[in-house]
Structure 1
Amino acid sequence: MKIKTDKEFRTYQAEMEAITVKGTDLGDMELLSEEEKERYIVLSQAISEWEAAYHPLPGRVSTLITDAIRKKMETENIKQKETARRLGISESRVSDILNGRRPLNLNIVKRLRDNFGIPADFILDNI
């Protein structure tokens, strides 16, 4: 399942909350039906993906941005070492950015724009 709109996100959040309330009322989430438990897991994963992309935690890079970087690396067959060189940062920092452990700074945003063709507006809209 992939959430496509903010309205879907809110709807699925409400559905997940209802399942959580039911599990709480029963005294344990394990007392839910197998169907409800499976639905809860599917909703949880979809909501997590949406939040990582559109509402990342402070200091984390949106998965929309990291996916764009990875796609560019794959399309141009660029390795992490070359990516680091183009961005003027260490390979470990590239790894940290791609895995959401390090935020972007303005210089890196400019280099992503200039050296990878990723529009700055796209990055700024998704930070």
Structure 2
Amino acid sequence: MNMIRPIRNEEDYETALEEIEELWEAEPGSAEADRLEVLVMLVEAYEAEHYPIPAPDPIELILHVMEARGLTRRDLEPYLGSRARVSEVLNRRRPLSLEMIRKLQAGLGLPADVLVQPYPLQPYSEPALTHTGPLRS
């Protein structure tokens, strides 16, 4: 076995991944298992630096959880408020409030650190006023 070295480039990274694959079935507590553990830590550090995964958008997270758990907009009312409020939040017309974030975390187990991330809102436009009858004086 070669000495373990830092992963500095893609070639080192690929070599480490190959060795991890070879060591994957190592007997717990063995020298091979210890080597595997160290290699995994090095690969994780390299990936965190070179392939960061951005935090998901809060609304995308909520929509994903709704789909995964089979939730409807009505199911979100205890966390976000009225049916209209749920619609405003999911359509990005209203930001999540601190109270909503707390309820989503407590009730659905959504991570608050994701829910507090800034996200784009849609500009709110007032509905056009239309007049269909005679003016009253």
**TM-score per shorter chain, which class?**
0.3 to 0.5
Structure with more relative contact order (C-alpha pairs < 8 Å, separation 6 or more): 1
Structure with greater proportional helix content: 1
TM-score (norm 1): 0.46
Bigger radius of gyration among the two:
2
